[in-house]
């Protein structure tokens, strides 16, 4: 599509997650003007999802002055492919197989659509508006329900040959380790260093020891990373050990990443980072312990300072300006 | 240094290894015109090494028509840094600390000098003259005494923020695994998937079993990856198990690399690849087994077809044309 006018000063950012989909209208300076959300999970049918998204988004578009002001739509989605604009075999979404996301959304809105995976979108957001401003080599890692990543080298996002680069979460860190229900693989980073992973570690450690802990009052089905955090800040030793164990595995993955890509910084983002030093300290310590000498004390470990509810939308919208 | 004339049609390529240093004169089409070598190990003093290199190289330069025909010198060296032109803390070289390699060589020859690590140089060589011609996203892995790597994404080599990117060999694959004498770290890829690693695995497997094997006739101090290979091609089960074990660990490392960078191909190079399918088959199998679905059966696992004795020199010389 050719540039229509100098009026194209706004972008739509959409962040599709396993549970909900957030979206908003963002200007070139990264100001989120309007935002809203719909459920992802409630739409077993993909076309119905796109229709609901269109309906809700057009309300915001009208508020912002009409569709003529928009340059395009950026979408971050699990297993979103930059080259093909599709979502492929995303284990956490209700739609199976290969979904023609960009095409369907483009048909509805008549705007250019750019797609990438959610962590890549977050990386672009950090580069344009966040902690990675001005950096040419950095790594973005999202620690939420799952673990996502985006790698930037030589000032460019690495999409790889087929558009699926950046799956650090599925790297095998503990061979023959914990089973990942979604992928069927054992010992991946995501099985340990996600909210789900912390919960699993809590259940395991409680079962394998007789140590006293506040967490013994929590029924197994109610265990969560939040519960572990609450116990840890009250000084609970076993809860702190859970974060130490998580940081050990995350630290190995970060050390490997540093030795491969030699980034200026690693930027962490997402729910688990709320645990602060409880998770950051052991992560940094084990990262350094696994680095060979030339890398020691060089790489900054930062936490994203973008407002969490906005960052995913900002990152997705940034795809619109970044797209070639 | 400004371009001197259209006569600058030749480059010098130097490959510094732990034992020996190979060098040669290469034209723009990748033809190796003259080559020679000196010992690395015999020069405890770095300045004496540069003097000996200069002396031997100038003989070749004169044969090729004199220094005026040369555009520059490319050097691949362990821990060679592209940005600073230094070698930093290379555990396998006789010189300690930070060595001003580019500066010293430039002073001797009055030619531009470009430095990178040996595997990065090999990656550029493959991209210009070898199996990676025309590829924009690929990974080069050298399986020799150690394990080196070079990553190319978006058509550019990844040097990283400080110039040391590409150390896949030091990635931790087996946490708390085998000790690496050079780095003091445990469980790195290099501890297993190198000639040294295969030898160590052979000694371990022989000690930990009573299984009959041709390798039981080899004294421990004479054990080598070559001896394991010779036993394996005679059908020795334990020898084949050693390659299977090596391939399992290399396969995990390759799967992680694929999920991070999504390359079009992984190109293997170096002594261990001579074992052919004995090592390639289990490597490919375990790589695929550890990949999540979107990556299955997409990535080519290739063996470099550059003549081994020349490839390192070609790669280093290619730095001269590639340098910005």
Cβ-defined contact of A262 to B151 (cutoff 8 Å): no
Q: Regarding beta strands A112-116 and A70-76, do their DSSP bridges make them parallel or antiparallel, or are they unpaired?
A: parallel
Rounded CA-CA distance B206/B187 in Å is: 20
Q: Which residues from B are below 8 Å from A183, CB to CB?
A: 292-293
Q: Which residues from A are below 8 Å from B154, CB to CB?
A: 153-154, 156, 158
| pLDDT band per the 50, 70, 90 thresholds, residue B307 | confident
Q: Which residues from B are below 8 Å from A156, CB to CB?
A: 153-154
Query: What is the CA B98 to chain-centroid distance, rounded?
Result: 21
Per the structure block, which two tokens stand in for B199? 């030898």
Residues A46 and A104 sit within 8 Å (Cβ to Cβ): yes
Distance from CA of A270 to the nearest CA of B (A): 20
Q: In terms of CA atoms, which chain A residue is nearest residue B79?
A: A294
Residue B310: per-residue pLDDT: 77
**CA distances from residue B253 to B149, B177, B200, B287 in whole angstroms, order as listed:** 12, 14, 19, 8
| pLDDT band per the 50, 70, 90 thresholds, residue B1 | very low
Q: Where in chain B is the domain with CATH 3.30.420.40?
A: 10-125+309-322, 135-304
Q: Where in chain A is the domain with CATH 3.30.420.40?
A: 10-125+309-322, 134-304
| pLDDT tens for the 324 residues of chain A, in order | 444 455 679 999 999 988 899 999 999 988 999 999 999 999 999 999 999 999 999 999 999 999 999 999 999 998 899 999 999 988 779 999 999 999 999 999 999 999 998 889 989 989 988 899 999 999 999 998 889 999 999 999 999 999 999 999 999 999 999 999 989 999 999 999 999 999 999 999 999 999 999 999 999 999 999 999 999 999 999 999 999 999 999 999 999 999 999 999 999 998 899 999 999 999 999 999 999 999 999 999 999 988 766 778 998 999 998 754
Q: Which has the closest alpha carbon to A140: A303, A320, A285, A276? A: A303
Domain at B135-304: CATH architecture: 2-Layer Sandwich (3.30)
Cβ-defined contact of B168 to A264 (cutoff 8 Å): no
**ipTM of the prediction:** 0.92
Residue A308: per-residue pLDDT: 67
Residue A1: per-residue pLDDT: 46
Q: In terms of CA atoms, which chain A residue is nearest residue B186?
A: A290
* Number of helices and strands in chain B (H, E): 8, 12
| pLDDT band per the 50, 70, 90 thresholds, residue B162 | very high
| pLDDT beyond 60 at B3 | no
pLDDT tens digits for range B4-52 = 455 679 999 999 988 899 999 999 988 999 999 999 999 999 999 999 9
In the block, which residue shows the tokens 């250019």?
A112
Residue A42: per-residue pLDDT: 95
Cβ-defined contact of B262 to A290 (cutoff 8 Å): no
Please, is B210 exposed, middle or buried when counting C-beta atoms within 10 Å of its C-beta (0-12, 13-18, 19+)? exposed
Q: In terms of CA atoms, which chain B residue is nearest residue A248?
A: B175
- Out of B149, B161, B172, whose CB is closest to A255? B172
| pLDDT band per the 50, 70, 90 thresholds, residue B252 | very high
Cβ-defined contact of A162 to B262 (cutoff 8 Å): yes
Q: Which has the closest alpha carbon to B170: A266, A265, A257, A160? A: A257
Nearest-Å Rg of the Cα atoms of chain A is 20
Rounded CA-CA distance B145/B225 in Å is: 10
Residue B38: per-residue pLDDT: 97
Rounded CA-CA distance A88/A90 in Å is: 6
Candidates A163, A292, A301, A302: best to mutate against B (most CBs of B within 10 A) is A292
**Which are the contacts of A150, defined by CB distance < 8 A and separation ≥ 6?**
A117, A119, A120, A121, A122, A123, A124, A139, A140, A157, A166
Residues B192 and B179 sit within 8 Å (Cβ to Cβ): no
Q: In terms of CA atoms, which chain A residue is nearest residue B152?
A: A160
Residue B18: per-residue pLDDT: 84
Q: In terms of CA atoms, which chain A residue is nearest residue B141?
A: A260
- Out of B160, B290, B293, whose CB is closest to A263? B160
In the block, which residue shows the tokens 């390529």?
B13
pLDDT tens digits for range B207-250 = 999 999 999 999 999 999 999 999 999 999 999 999 999 999 99
CATH superfamily of A10-125+309-322: ATPase, nucleotide binding domain (3.30.420.40)
Residues A148 and B148 sit within 8 Å (Cβ to Cβ): no
Rounded CA-CA distance A62/B3 in Å is: 59
pTM: 0.92
- For domain A134-304, give the fold: Nucleotidyltransferase; domain 5 (3.30.420)
Residues A293 and A255 sit within 8 Å (Cβ to Cβ): no
Rounded CA-CA distance A227/A199 in Å is: 9
Buried b (16+ CB within 10 A) or exposed e, B99-119: bebbebbbebbebbbbbbbbb
Buried b (16+ CB within 10 A) or exposed e, B184-198: ebebbbbbbbbbbbb
What is the greatest pairwise CA distance in chain A?
68
Residues A88 and A81 sit within 8 Å (Cβ to Cβ): yes
Cβ-defined contact of A290 to B172 (cutoff 8 Å): yes
The overall average pLDDT reported for chain B is: 93
- Out of B89, B158, B171, whose CB is closest to A294? B89
């Amino acid at each position: 599509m050719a540039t229509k006018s100098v009026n194209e000063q706004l972008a739509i950012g959409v962040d599709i997650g396993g549970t909900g989909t957030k979206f908003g209208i963002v200007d070139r300076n990264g100001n989120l003007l309007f935002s809203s959300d719909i459920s992802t999970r409630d739409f077993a049918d993909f076309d119905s999802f796109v229709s609901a998204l269109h309906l809700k988004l057009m309300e915001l578009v009208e508020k912002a002055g009409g569709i003529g002001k928009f340059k395009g739509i950026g979408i971050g989605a699990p297993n979103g492919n930059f080259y093909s604009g599709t979502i492929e075999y995303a284990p956490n979404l209700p739609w199976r197989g290969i979904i023609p996301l960009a095409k369907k959304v483009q048909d509805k809105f008549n705007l250019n659509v750019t797609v990438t995976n959610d962590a890549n979108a977050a990386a672009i957001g950090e580069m344009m508006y966040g902690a990675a401003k001005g950096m040419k080599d950095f790594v973005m890692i999202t620690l939420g329900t799952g673990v996502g990543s985006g790698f930037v080298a030589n000032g460019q996002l690495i999409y790889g040959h087929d558009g699926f680069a950046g799956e650090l979460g599925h790297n095998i860190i503990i061979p023959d380790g914990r089973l990942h229900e979604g992928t069927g693989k054992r010992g991946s980073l995501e099985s340990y260093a996600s909210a789900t992973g912390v919960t699993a570690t809590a259940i395991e450690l409680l079962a394998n020891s007789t140590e006293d802990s506040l967490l013994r009052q929590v029924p197994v089905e109610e265990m969560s990373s939040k519960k572990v955090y609450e116990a840890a800040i009250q000084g609970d030793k076993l809860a702190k050990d859970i974060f130490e164990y998580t940081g050990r595995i995350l630290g190995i993955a970060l050390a490997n990443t540093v030795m491969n890509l030699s980034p200026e910084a690693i930027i962490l983002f997402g729910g688990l980072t709320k645990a602060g030093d409880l998770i950051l300290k052991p992560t940094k310590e084990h990262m350094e312990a696994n680095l060979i000498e030339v890398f020691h004390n060089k790489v900054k470990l930062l936490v994203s300072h973008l407002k969490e509810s906005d960052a995913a939308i900002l990152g997705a919208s940034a795809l619109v300006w970044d797209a070639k």
